Each structure stands twice: as C-alpha cells, then as structure tokens.
C-alpha cells in the first residue's frame, strides 16, 4: 500500500496512485511521503503498468514525458506508481524503496539494470546499468519486487 504524502498540504493534488486525465499538478513537481520516499509528477506513456521503469526528460515536446526503459536508454529514471498511460499524468518514485517490475529473479544488494521494455533485473548487460539503484530485497521471479532508488539515472554504463 502506498504511503501518504507529507509536507505543505496545498503543494500537490491527489494520491500517489491517482491517474489524472489532465495535469492537476505542475509537471516535474517533487513530493515526499511520510516514510521519506520521493516522487515526481510526470506524463505517462503507453503500456505503463504499476512498477514500470521509465526514463524521462528526453522529449523535445516536454521535459517531463516518460518512455519505458529500454536497452541503451539514457536519462533520469523513475518507477511508476500507477498504470499511467499516454496522455495521462501521475506520480513516479525517484527515491526510497520502490516496487519495481522485475523481469526475473534478482539478488538483494545487486546492481539494477534495465531489462525488457519497462522492466528491471540484476542481469549484467553492458550499457544498461541504472546508476543510483540496487535490488533492495531478493526477488524470486518475474513481477513486482523491491528496488532501492536514489535519483536513478541511465548513462549507458555497466
């Protein structure tokens, strides 16, 4: 279950898992929850599910449009809090322990890599390392699992 946002009560609208048909917050707004996790408000992309790994900030149209992470991607990374599709808006986690969509089993403490579109894994793939992210707890197989994030970023390393 998602935690509640904290801070100045008028700073943002909606719950962390809300999907908005039009932007209710300023794109790029950052907000914390009561557990110290940090989130950013972004525009969605097709095929997003809860836990999707996305990059953002690479569009000529808007700096806050997302793309599902793929092999060789570059840019800041976030994890979707909801199935925020193209033309929709919502919150994405950038710091703290997030529920990410894993491609398969992963070992706690391992570096995190972009796997198939929008998924993560601990399998070492050259150029797909997500800096500032590790596997937070062992993941038994494909599906949601814990990843620790600290402003993750892909810069074609690993």
Identify the CA nearest to 65 among candidates 85, 94, 37, 93. 85
Backbone φ and ψ for 59, nearest 5 degrees, come out as -95, 140
Question: Alpha-carbon distance 107 to 35, whole Å?
Answer: 24
> What are the residues facing 70 on neighbouring strands?
none
- Which pTM does this prediction carry? 0.92
pLDDT, averaged in runs of 10, over the chain (158 residues)? 61 91 94 94 96 85 86 92 97 98 97 94 93 98 98 87
What pLDDT is attached to residue 2? 65
DSSP 56-120: ES--SS-TTBEEE--TT-EEEEEEESS---BT-EEEEEEEEEEEEEESS-B-TTPEEEE-STT-E
Backbone φ and ψ for 5, nearest 5 degrees, come out as -70, 150
């Amino acid at each position: 279950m998602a935690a509640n946002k904290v801070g100045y009560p008028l700073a943002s609208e909606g719950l962390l898992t809300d999907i908005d048909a039009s932007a209710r917050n300023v794109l790029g707004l950052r907000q914390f929850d009561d557990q110290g996790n940090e989130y950013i408000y972004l525009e969605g992309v097709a095929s997003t599910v809860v836990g999707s790994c996305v990059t953002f900030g690479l569009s000529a149209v808007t700096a806050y449009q997302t793309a599902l992470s793929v092999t060789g991607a570059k840019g800041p990374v976030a994890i979707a809090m909801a199935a925020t599709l193209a033309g929709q808006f919502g919150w994405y986690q950038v710091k703290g322990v997030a529920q990410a969509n894993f491609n398969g089993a992963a070992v706690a403490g391992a570096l995190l890599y972009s796997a198939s579109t929008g998924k993560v894994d601990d399998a070492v793939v050259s150029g797909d390392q997500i800096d500032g992210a590790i596997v937070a707890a062992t993941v038994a197989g494909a599906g949601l699992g814990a990843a620790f994030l600290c402003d993750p970023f892909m810069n074609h390393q690993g």
